[in-house]
């Protein structure tokens, strides 16, 4: 087979892995799903065998296209085989056997990673369980462990510990846009978490490992630069997955569209290889290859074998071999070969966002950057490269980022252009400092000290861009189908010379595909979202482009539940925010929301709602101590916790469509007064007597503990985030 044939088979393998997206991350898909996958891939191979030879004169024979279809189907089966599943003695089985969500345990085992500070100010590390101390039962399994900062400061890999705490099952998200912790653990091969309350070190001396060199570099750079600048330099050299970077700095770079600066990838590998080749220029080709391979291997080990670094390192190996053999590197072929080899080693990386972004950014640099540089040939070459490099990478990663995060960093391109010289200088200096720290820590610190002002200036520039008005813009979630269509149009420009001359037309089509469906949906959407919380009701009302937010919850809820949901919906401004009789509302929560969105009108006094307030077609009014909402001719009534505890006469409207209350109980007389069609409890459970009362009156019941987030939409009625065992009719 020739090069084209191998290229087709590699692409078929990647397409097969990508097609597993229809299966989710389920280890045991149904036979119906298998039939869809097999028939779909088989149909594509037959279609390719019939159509492609008519347009491609050098097309391989038809049998190769059928072989490509078989390779794609085998790729699906291979990925399913590699999905981690808990063995019979996995520690998570302890909870399954007792049908419990959590249990107090004492576990002996070995630390697998260094500790990292979480956003909840606890130290997290991965832990290999070996034995349950009380039962003496031998167990296996990987655990996500968190401990207090005072106990987790000296955690290191291979350390043998006894951890006492609460073993728990991770749960799927009950709110849209929230982080799927259960799926994240499953991808790491872990099926339970452990909230550590006490740890005991067995006192064994740590064995040597690359983690010690990594920590030596980080300590040396932090010693002379301080925690913020030092951790940033270390992250730019080793990648943020290998460095415990402060969350505020990480969020700052993400918001500015500079997250790639914190990820070790092709840029760092290219710098490293360039330095090695320059230092070994007088050596023989064999020695240059040896030094280059050893340097790449050491660097990959120091970064913790990240997917993006492994991809760059493999391409670096290809470049080294080509350099020694005095042959030209085919960059696209090198990228495809590196990606295929990595996905053969670990097919689960196909769904690793870092791997996807690294692959797309590199692809953009190969196929789009030369065309951009040609169009910018009227500029000095250095400036043309500064502009074309971030633009080429951004073009190919933008659709994926919009699909995943629903946000764009407005000033990403100018921020990348202005910071590129600083990033290059700091990365190079950081690598020199790292090399010095490996040999002699004080030498590494002395070199790192020279980087303080460039690093501090970089932080100031990033801070400047994030503080500009409209620095980040919520567009709304781009559907998978639209994302694939956009990439197909971009590939058309890459492959067809006719379309290359009309690239502006394709760009216009892409903008239309992004803006019009999302904009049309927003202007016609009438939807109420009630979030699953343990607090007072938190509601987002979307009324044909007008946005009303009732309550903000605690700061954690505001940051990790509300803001992601609003971003996903493409919401940049809240027309009216209401803090309604909720102890959970705090200035910090509203400040967290205002950091990401603008609030046009904020109401936190009961007197401001004494008169009827109209926002779009939605009417809001305080009735006694309850909040009444009139949405599309339906009346919603929110009862507070204070009312549940009061024995005084309560004023209610005569008829209510939807009744919301926090807690497990609901008084009979309130049902007599309001006569709701739907009752929603913001509670983990609902009292049996209350359930019986509602059932007798044929009132539809939801509660957040069972159903998760509850949404009502004008055209679809009520929908729940979690599957409900009781099938109940929707309110039209």
Same domain, 57 and 149: no
Q: Tokens in use for 587?
A: 């200035």
What pLDDT was estimated at residue 292? 87
Q: Tokens in use for 23?
A: 């299966």
Question: What 3-state DSSP class applies to 344?
Answer: helix
Nearest to residue 354, comparing CAs of 392, 312, 308? 308
In a 13 Å sphere around the CA of 433, the CA atoms on its Cβ side amount to 32
Q: Which among 456, 472, 488 is the end of a domain? A: 472
232 has a pLDDT exceeding 50? yes
Write the pLDDT tens digit of every residue in 628-648: 899 988 899 988 776 665 554
Nearest to residue 312, comparing CAs of 355, 367, 260, 278? 355
Write the pLDDT tens digit of every residue in 486-521: 999 999 999 888 888 888 999 999 999 888 888 888
Domain of 197, CATH number, reads 2.40.50.140
Q: Tokens in use for 334?
A: 């090198």
At 167, give phi and psi (nearest 5°): -80, 135
Same domain, 621 and 714: yes
How high is the mean pLDDT of the chain? Answer: 86
CA 105 to chain CA mean position, Å? 31
Nearest to residue 197, comparing CAs of 92, 107, 93, 127? 107
In a domain, 387, yes or no: no
Report DSSP state, residue 427: H
Placement of tokens 């004494």 in the chain? 610
3-state per-residue secondary structure call for 305-333: CCHHHHHHHHHHHHHHHHHHCCCCCCHHH
Q: Which among 207, 236, 256 is the end of a domain? A: 207
What pLDDT was estimated at residue 464? 94
Same domain, 624 and 712: yes
Total domains, the chain: 5
In a domain, 396, yes or no: no
In a domain, 377, yes or no: no
Q: Tokens in use for 302?
A: 């120091």
At 648, give phi and psi (nearest 5°): -75, 165
What integer is the mean pLDDT of 257-272? 83
Same domain, 220 and 274: yes
Write the pLDDT tens digit of every residue in 334-392: 999 999 999 999 999 998 888 898 899 999 999 999 989 888 888 888 888 888 988 99
Q: How far apart are CA 17 and CA 78, in angstroms?
A: 9
Same domain, 706 and 597: yes
What is the percentage of the chain residues whose pLDDT exceeds 70? Answer: 95
725 has a pLDDT exceeding 50? no
Confidence band, pLDDT 50/70/90 cuts, at residue 727: very low
Same domain, 634 and 699: yes
Same domain, 641 and 684: yes
What pLDDT was estimated at residue 560? 87
Q: How far apart are CA 559 and CA 592, in angstroms?
A: 6
Write the pLDDT tens digit of every residue in 186-200: 888 899 999 999 998
Nearest to residue 339, comparing CAs of 313, 365, 364? 313
726 has a pLDDT exceeding 50? no
In a domain, 633, yes or no: yes
What integer is the mean pLDDT of 221-232? 92
In a domain, 275, yes or no: yes
581 has a pLDDT exceeding 80? no
Q: Which among 472, 488, 511 is the end of a domain? A: 472
Structural domain containing residue 27: 3-82
In a domain, 407, yes or no: no
What pLDDT was estimated at residue 732? 32
In a domain, 313, yes or no: yes
Write the pLDDT tens digit of every residue in 280-294: 878 888 888 888 889
Same domain, 221 and 130: no
Same domain, 493 and 564: no
Same domain, 449 and 493: no
What pLDDT was estimated at residue 94? 87
Write the pLDDT tens digit of every residue in 655-711: 789 999 888 888 888 888 888 999 999 888 888 888 998 999 899 999 998 899 999
- State pTM to two decimals: 0.86
| C-beta of residue 617 within 8 angstroms of C-beta of residue 544 | yes
What integer is the mean pLDDT of 222-235? 92
Same domain, 421 and 460: yes
In a domain, 729, yes or no: no
Confidence band, pLDDT 50/70/90 cuts, at residue 455: very high
Domain of 546, CATH number, reads 3.60.15.10
Nearest to residue 292, comparing CAs of 277, 314, 312, 281? 277
Same domain, 65 and 193: no
Write the pLDDT tens digit of every residue in 144-179: 999 998 888 888 888 899 999 999 999 888 888 788
């Amino acid at each position: 087979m020739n090069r084209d044939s191998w290229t087709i088979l590699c692409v078929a393998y990647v397409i097969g892995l990508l097609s597993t997206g229809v299966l989710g991350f389920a280890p045991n898909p149904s036979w119906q799903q298998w039939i869809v996958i097999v028939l779909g891939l088989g149909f594509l191979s037959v279609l390719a065998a019939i159509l492609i030879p008519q347009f491609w004169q050098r097309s391989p024979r038809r049998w190769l296209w059928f072989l490509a279809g078989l390779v794609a189907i085998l790729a699906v089966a291979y990925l399913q085989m590699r999905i981690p599943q808990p063995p019979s003695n996995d520690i998570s089985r302890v909870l399954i056997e007792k049908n419990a969500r959590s249990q107090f345990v004492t576990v002996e085992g070995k630390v697998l990673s260094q500790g990292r500070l979480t956003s909840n100010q606890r130290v997290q590390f991965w832990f290999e369980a070996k034995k349950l101390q009380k039962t003496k039962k031998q167990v296996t399994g990987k655990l996500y462990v968190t401990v207090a900062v005072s106990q987790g400061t000296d955690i290191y890999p291979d350390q043998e510990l006894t951890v006492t705490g609460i073993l728990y099952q991770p749960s799927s998200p009950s709110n849209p846009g929230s982080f799927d912790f259960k799926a994240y653990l499953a991808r790491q091969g872990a099926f339970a978490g452990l909230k550590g309350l006490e740890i005991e070190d067995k006192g064994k001396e740590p064995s040597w490992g690359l983690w010690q060199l990594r920590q030596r570099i980080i300590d040396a750079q932090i010693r002379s630069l301080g925690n913020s600048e030092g951790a940033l330099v270390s992250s730019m050299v080793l990648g943020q997955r290998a460095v415990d970077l402060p969350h505020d700095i990480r969020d700052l770079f993400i918001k500015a569209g500079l997250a790639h600066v914190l990820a070790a990838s092709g840029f760092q590998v290219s710098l490293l290889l360039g330095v090695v080749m320059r230092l070994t220029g007088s050596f023989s080709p064999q020695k240059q290859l040896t030094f280059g391979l050893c340097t790449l291997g050491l660097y990959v080990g120091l970064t913790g074998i990240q997917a993006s670094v492994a991809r760059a390192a493999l391409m670096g190996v290809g470049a080294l071999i080509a350099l020694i053999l005095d042959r030209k590197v085919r960059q696209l072929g090198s990228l495809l070969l590196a990606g295929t080899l990595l996905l053969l080693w670990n097919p689960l990386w196909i769904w690793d966002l870092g791997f996807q972004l690294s692959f797309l950014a590199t692809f953009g640099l190969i196929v789009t950057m030369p065309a951009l540089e040609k169009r910018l040939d009227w500029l000095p070459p250095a400036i043309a490269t500064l502009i074309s490099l971030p633009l080429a990478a951004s073009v190919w990663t933008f659709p994926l980022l919009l699909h995943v995060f629903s946000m764009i960093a407005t000033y990403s391109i100018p921020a990348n252009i202005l910071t590129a010289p600083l990033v290059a200088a700091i990365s190079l200096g950081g690598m020199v400092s790292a090399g010095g720290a490996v040999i002699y820590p004080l030498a590494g610190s002395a070199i790192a000290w020279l980087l303080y002002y460039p690093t501090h200036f970089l932080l100031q520039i990033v801070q400047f861009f994030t503080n500009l008005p409209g620095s980040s813009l919520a567009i709304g979630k781009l559907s998978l189908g639209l994302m694939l269509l956009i990439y197909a149009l971009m590939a058309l420009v890459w492959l067809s010379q006719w379309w290359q001359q009309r690239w502006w037309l394709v760009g216009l089509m892409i903008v239309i595909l992004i803006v019009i469906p999302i904009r049309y949906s927003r202007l016609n959407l009438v939807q109420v979202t009630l979030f699953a919380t343990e607090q007072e009701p938190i509601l987002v009302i979307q009324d044909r482009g007008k946005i009303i937010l009732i309550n903000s919850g605690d700061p954690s809820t505001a940051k990790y539940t509300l803001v992601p949901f609003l971003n996903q919906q493409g919401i940049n401004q809240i027309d009216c925010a209401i803090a309604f009789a909720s102890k959970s509302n705090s200035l910090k929560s509203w400040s967290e929301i205002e950091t990401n969105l603008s609030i046009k009108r904020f109401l936190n006094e009961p007197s401001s709602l004494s008169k009827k307030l109209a926002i779009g077609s939605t009417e809001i009014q305080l009735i006694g101590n309850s909040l009444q909402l009139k949405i599309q001719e339906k009346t919603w009534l929110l009862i507070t916790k204070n009312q549940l505890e009061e024995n005084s006469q309560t004023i209610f409207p005569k008829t209510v469509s939807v009744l919301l209350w926090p807690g497990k109980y609901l008084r009979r007389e309130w049902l007599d007064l309001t006569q709701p069609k739907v009752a929603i409890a913001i509670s983990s459970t609902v009292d049996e007597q209350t359930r019986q009362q509602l059932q007798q009156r044929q009132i539809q019941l939801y509660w957040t503990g069972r159903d998760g987030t509850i949404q009502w939409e004008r055209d679809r009625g009520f929908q729940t985030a979690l599957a409900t065992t009781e099938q109940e009719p929707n309110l039209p």
